[in-house]
A = this chain, B = another copy of it.
């Protein structure tokens, strides 16, 4: 009897771990970004939503910010600085008018996500990235990392929000 109970508890344990691992799965790895040595984090497309935004101008995109569990926890608790291990992902897609939606609304008002443009990551490691506020930066387009020249522009741009641990995006309730 005890052996059978033991067996089912093991099944339950492995099942629980499997569900959790399956949830975190996704495309990842590949070539590392220069300077900071960051590769695409596993399962980032499954992460929870931080917020959304629209950039006009040359970017002309719709974007979503997703966070790993450390990021979401820190955001929801309002705790700064973000702990080591935090990763924030910025996904972006071209800003495309939706003819289909506009037809239903009876006016041109609807803009949706088109093709993916690129994906960026901020990775917190206060020792490794001490020279850039504790953050490493990376950008990938179709899995290919952006070059060193581009990544050198990340930290100077984020410096104005030092008081929010160099992170622009606020959590959307």
The chain A residues found within 8 Å of chain B, CB to CB, are 2, 6, 9-10, 12-13, 16-17, 19-20, 23, 45-46, 48-49, 51-57, 59, 62-64, 66, 91, 93, 95, 98, 100-101, 103-105, 107-113, 115-116, 157, 160-161, 168-170, 172-173
CA distance A54 to B115 in the complex (A): 15
- Say what secondary structure dominates the interface of chain A: mixed
**How many copies of this chain does the complex contain?**
2
A173 partner residues in chain B, CB cutoff 8 A = 115-116
Given A16-B16, A46-B48, A100-B161, residue A111 in contact with residue B54 (CB < 8 A): yes
Q: How far is the CA of A157 from the CA of B106 in the complex (A)?
A: 11
Closest to A113 in B: B172
- On chain B, the residues within 8 Å of A12 by CB distance are 13, 16-17
A107: which B residues are within 8 A, CB to CB? Answer: 57
Contact status of A100 and B168, CB under 8 A, knowing A13-B12, A52-B113, A112-B51: yes
Q: Give Cα distance in the complex from A63 to B10, angstroms.
A: 42
